[in-house]
Amino acid sequence: MESENRELRIKELHHSRSKSLFLRMSLVVFIISMAWAWSAGTLHESLLTKEQRSENLEIFIGKIIPDPTRESGKWIDSLPWITDLLIEEQGIKAIGITFGLATVAITMSGFFALLLLPLSARNFGTQRPLGINQGNNILKSLYWFAINKSSRILFLFTRSLPEYVLGFLLLSILGPDPWVLVLALAIHNFGILGRLGSELVENSSNGSARIMLAQGGGRYSSLVSTTFPDSFNRMLVYFFYRWETCIRESTVLGMVSIISLGYLIKDAKSKMDYDRMLAFILLGALIVMAGDIISTLVRRKLRITRST
């Protein structure tokens, strides 16, 4: 009897669940679009035959093997070659510069994004922050509406600009300067961190911040002293995630004429030295892996500290 009642209740819940025609139609359109894209003839067209593609793949795999190993067939013979990449060709220096550029870029974007969070979060950037009435002045209400929407549009605009486009635009203005890479990464990630931070603030409980605002505290002071500490771990996850992205992007943006991994990768590609190019790409991957380890250790330390 109990099982029958449970099944009946489940059926009732299933029939009474909320239904969205828009979501269902979106799913149908998505499936039809995927089927059309996969069956479209242009998706499978290629100027090369299958045999030519296989031959190119075989040639590429042969070229990414280091020269000493290619000649002798022994991987141990590539150790001096790796040493030359790190020292003679300034691979270690490039790692340090790439690390520094990415760190400066994400620090700048994180700092300025945090400054705008009390203005861009919907529950703070209003005349009634967290529901606390601070007057009924129409002009002040319009002022906060404009400030909130402007900051959110700024986040949307900056994150919609690809780093590559920003890099080329800044290169034409600043010339081959390291700040081209730093600013390109910082501007793009400013918008992303700002959006993520705004959503984090909006979805937090903010109970302590509400009490502080009711007692006469300001938006910045209540956000920094209550919401930020409670959400710091999540903010740190976002920060390190975008820092890792900055590392990856800086290894690709080799337009700046400084000894970074991106520049060395671009130089190796122009000379068709695919073994050197792959080696520098792997060095960039090692930096990202190191950053992930650092992020995990820092967040684990913070959790232990808060629990004690």
- What number is the average pLDDT over the span 112-125? 88
b/e sequence 264-293, b meaning 16+ C-beta within 10 Å: bbbbbeeeebbbbbbbbbebbeebbeebee
Question: Is it the case that residue 44 has pLDDT exceeding 60?
Answer: no
- What number is the average pLDDT over the span 60-67? 82
Cα torsion through 268, 273, 277, 280, rounded to 10? -80
State the Cα–Cα distance between residues 163 and 291, nearest whole angstrom: 21
State the Cα–Cα distance between residues 269 and 274, nearest whole angstrom: 6
- What number is the average pLDDT over the span 200-209? 82
> Does 158 fall in a domain?
yes
177 vs 116, more confident = 116
Say what the pTM is.
0.76
The answer to whether 163 and 184 have CB atoms below 8 angstroms apart is yes
153 vs 222, more confident = 153
Residue the block writes with tokens 């949307």: 156
Q: Which domain holds residue 244?
A: 86-307
- What number is the average pLDDT over the span 91-103? 87
State the Cα–Cα distance between residues 130 and 125, nearest whole angstrom: 9
Output DSSP code: residue 129. Answer: G
- What number is the average pLDDT over the span 115-137? 81
**If pLDDT is split at 50, 70 and 90, which confidence band does 125 have?**
confident
- What number is the average pLDDT over the span 56-64? 82
Question: Is it the case that residue 275 has pLDDT exceeding 80?
Answer: yes
> Does 301 fall in a domain?
yes
**If pLDDT is split at 50, 70 and 90, which confidence band does 146 have?**
very high
284 vs 113, more confident = 113
> Does 240 fall in a domain?
yes
The answer to whether 280 and 91 have CB atoms below 8 angstroms apart is yes
Q: Which two tokens stand for residue 10?
A: 């489940």
Which stretch of DSSP H or E encloses residue 200?
A: helix 178-202
> Does 42 fall in a domain?
no
> Does 29 fall in a domain?
no
Whole-number pLDDT of residue 64: 83
Whole-number pLDDT of residue 185: 92
Whole-number pLDDT of residue 266: 84
The answer to whether 101 and 260 have CB atoms below 8 angstroms apart is yes
Domain CATH for 101: 1.10.3720.10
**If pLDDT is split at 50, 70 and 90, which confidence band does 172 have?**
confident
> Does 137 fall in a domain?
yes
Domain count, the chain: 1
> Does 271 fall in a domain?
yes
Percentage of residues in the chain having pLDDT higher than 90: 13
Whole-number pLDDT of residue 154: 95
State the Cα–Cα distance between residues 299 and 305, nearest whole angstrom: 10
Query: Alpha-carbon Rg of the chain, whole angstroms?
Result: 27
> Does 294 fall in a domain?
yes
State the Cα–Cα distance between residues 239 and 233, nearest whole angstrom: 10
Residue 100 neighbours by CB distance under 10 Å: 14
State the Cα–Cα distance between residues 33 and 98, nearest whole angstrom: 40
State the Cα–Cα distance between residues 238 and 193, nearest whole angstrom: 7
Residue 240 neighbours by CB distance under 10 Å: 18
Output DSSP code: residue 109. Answer: H
Whole-number pLDDT of residue 180: 87
**If pLDDT is split at 50, 70 and 90, which confidence band does 306 have?**
low
For 281, residues 6+ apart whose C-beta sits below 8 A from its C-beta are 251, 261, 265
